[in-house]
Amino acid sequence: MLSALHDRIAHEVTARASRLWDVALALHREPELAFEEHAAAALLSGELERSGFAVTRGVADMPTAFVAEAGDGNRPRVALLLEYDALPGLGHACGHNLIAAAGLGAALALNSALRETPGRRLPGTVMAVGTPAEEGGGGKVAQVAAGVFDEVDAALMFHPGVNDWVRAPLTAQVQVRTVFHGRAAHPTGNPTEGIDALASLIQLFGSLNVLQRRLPPGSHIQGIITDGGRATNIVPERAEALFGLRAATTTALDALVLELTRCAEGTAAATGTAVETSPTTTGYHHFRDNAVLSDRFAEHLREVGIGLGEPTPGVYLGSSDIGDVSAVVPAIHPFVAILGPEHADHTTEFATAAASPRARRVMLAASRALASTAADVLGEPGLADRAWTRQREETAADA
């Protein structure tokens, strides 16, 4: 039955190719920032609703988030994830218009194929989850906390990129605000009365530069000064910086935050200032790839002529809130290239490529492979159990 279902999925994706590309281009033409994706959410959820999915909008207290479901409501439950926020000034320079269209196509094709394929319909539930604010704000983090993924057995998505990689080397990340408090004074009139908060902050940057040299692979600290005083003739009594921290694992990130805190407290003790250090975001977990599912996706993608390899050792591609989903359910996040490896995402070139003929081919191929992988989770005995076993192994290895 699965072979016939895969064939039917291919037919359904092909039949929807023009409409899916129209959706991808519509999102590309009207990029919307994090939590402001009202037109995108309406377009995508409307397509699903008209095709028979039961749609719940505003999930996890986010107006631009939604969950669409079809099937018998039972397990296995497969979630196809749709991202659709854009980047300030760059539009869809991360290709989220393609992620959304591919996830939409996979959900529609799978549900239709399940209805049309001869034989008993597979048990289980197909979900399309609209996930806002991946670029900043972490919509998936809120959805995990709200229980959207509590009964899900597989969370599937792809990401356009500049490499064809079966697994995503995505780090854990968090932003931390550090504020030094000193005492204002006139720098020439009564300089000995001042305690320079900005000088303390600059000293912290120097300490972190030393720390950076001994950090393990995948760990990184990048900071900016967000408040350095108000006038040159006043010793700054307050100075603030925002630091972005990344690490290969969530455990390593926790250790890095502790290192930053210790450096800040040591600087404060040495300079006579007071310091506050606190996360400004909930942060993202590192991504745990589920090889049982990502290898299956790669097999299906190979059938349409795209081969995926392993990531380049030592290369990390930033962070994503898919990491938080992967911490609780089996998940995949393969990269499929729409530009060559000499390029990068988050550039104007990548934004242009996200509306190119190559992007169209990749989006349709990914849609078919995602739907076929989801069909396997629903219909292949033991596959969901093997994915969960791998999930538990990955979690234990990170402990």
pLDDT of residue 52: 97
- Same domain, yes or no: 124 and 268: no
- Same domain, yes or no: 176 and 36: no
What pLDDT digit, counting tens, does each position of 341-381 carry?
Answer: 999 999 999 999 999 999 999 999 999 999 999 999 999 99
- Same domain, yes or no: 162 and 180: no
Q: What is the 3-state secondary structure (H, E, C) of 319-347?
A: CCCHHHHHCCCCECCCEEECCCCCCCCCC
- Same domain, yes or no: 152 and 54: yes
- Same domain, yes or no: 302 and 231: no
Domain boundary among 279, 298, 329: 279
- Same domain, yes or no: 237 and 358: no
Domain boundary among 249, 279, 309: 279
Query: Residue 226 belongs to what domain range?
Result: 172-279
The residue length of the chain stands at: 399
Report the predicted TM-score, pTM, of the whole model to 2 decimal places: 0.93
- Same domain, yes or no: 303 and 258: no
Average pLDDT over residues 40-47: 98
Give the contacts of 210 (CB within 8 A, at least 6 positions apart): none
Q: Give me the CATH number covering residue 187.
A: 3.30.70.360
pLDDT higher than 90, residue 281: no
What pLDDT digit, counting tens, does each position of 253-273 carry?
Answer: 999 999 999 999 999 999 999
Task: Give the three-class secondary structure for 66.
Answer: strand
Q: Which of 6-20, 118-132, 269-283, 333-347 has the lowest mean pLDDT?
A: 118-132
pLDDT of residue 399: 67
> What are the b/e assignments for 294-327, b being 16+ CB within 10 Å?
bbbbbebbeebebebeebeeeebbebbbbbbbbb
Average pLDDT over residues 296-321: 94
- Same domain, yes or no: 152 and 295: yes
Q: From the CA atom positions of the chain, what is the Rg in Å?
A: 24
pLDDT of residue 120: 53
pLDDT of residue 152: 98
What pLDDT digit, counting tens, does each position of 88-139 carry?
Answer: 999 999 999 999 999 999 999 999 999 876 665 788 999 999 999 999 899 9
Average pLDDT over residues 36-61: 98
Q: Give me the CATH number covering residue 9.
A: 3.40.630.10
What pLDDT digit, counting tens, does each position of 221-238 carry?
Answer: 999 999 999 999 999 999
- Same domain, yes or no: 67 and 176: no
- Same domain, yes or no: 58 and 129: yes
- Same domain, yes or no: 220 and 296: no
Average pLDDT over residues 129-155: 97
Domain total of the chain: 2
Identify the residue whose tokens are 């729409």: 338
Evaluate whether 170 touches 316 at the Cβ level (below 8 Å): yes
Neighbour tally for 396: CB within 10 Å:
8
pLDDT of residue 118: 64
Q: What is the mean pLDDT of the chain?
A: 96
- Same domain, yes or no: 157 and 304: yes
